[in-house]
Structure 1
Amino acid sequence: MYAKTRFHLLMHAVCVGHGYCGGMHGDKFMHVTDYIPQSGDVTADQFVEWVFLAEHGGQTSEPSPTLDRHRERLRAFFVEQMGSDVVDASQLRWE
């Protein structure tokens, strides 16, 4: 059994809580972790956009109140679990 890190808790909220677990784009499965850089700062807003890119391939339709609420909630999860609205990319890794 592994210890649940802040990142694990964040990913649980994103995937299990909201169903954003990634998606197929052509013949490749994409996950939010595929967009996270090796180093540097990552903002909550960047992370949320990468969640949607992984899920929808950047093909979200016109603005939607439901998607806006999801974005706000995912951003809040990021801040709550990671303890800040900006973290180093190294904190966004599976252990």
Structure 2
Amino acid sequence: MRDVCVGKGWCGGIVNGEPCHVDYLIPETGSVSAEQFVEWLFQAEGLDPSSEPAKWGKHKDGLREAFVRHMGADVVDASALKWDVS
């Protein structure tokens, strides 16, 4: 989370006039794929990556790569994604 949120600036913004953060979208349990997590990152930013695939594709690739690099797999349990503030 620190890499994508702090390092890359992808964790949330104001969506429909309300604050949103990727943490709000992650379930307590269950499997989460890198692809799903990246979609949540875009949703938390209020962005639709399908609106401009050429523009957002490189960002999506980098965010998926960061997920796999840090999590060690393409799919992890949702509990592993909770923000560590330490």
TM class by shorter-chain length?
0.7 to 0.9
| Matching residue of 2:7 | 17
1:36 aligned residue (2, 6, 26): 26
Let me know the Cα RMSD of the aligned residues. 1.8
Deviation at residue 59 of structure 1 after TM alignment: 7.4
Q: Alpha-carbon deviation of 1:60? A: 5.9
How many residue pairs are counted as aligned between the two chains? 84
Query: Contact conserved, 2:67 with 2:74, CA < 8 A, in 1?
Result: yes
Question: For residues 59 and 83 of structure 1, do their structure 2 counterparts lie closer, same or farther at Cα, with a shift above 3 Å needed?
Answer: closer
Q: TM-score, normalised by structure 1?
A: 0.77
- Residue number in structure 2 paired with 1:92: 81
Amino acid at match of 2:43: L
Alpha-carbon displacement from aligned partner over 1:60-81 (angstroms, at most 9, x marks no partner): 63322x3101100100000000
Q: Which has the larger radius of gyration?
A: 1
5+ residue gaps, structure 1, are 1-10
- Equivalences for residues 1-95 of structure 1 within 5 A: 11-56=1-46, 58=48, 61-64=51-54, 66-95=55-84
Q: Does the residue aligned with 2:3 lie in a helix, a strand or coil?
A: helix
TM-score (norm 2): 0.84
- 2-side partners of 1:53 and 1:88: how far apart? 20
C-alpha deviation, 1:22, in angstroms: 0.4
Structure 2: gaps (5+ residues): none
Structure 2 counterpart of 1:80, one-letter code: R
Amino acid at match of 2:79: S
Deviation at 1:93, TM superposition (A): 1.1
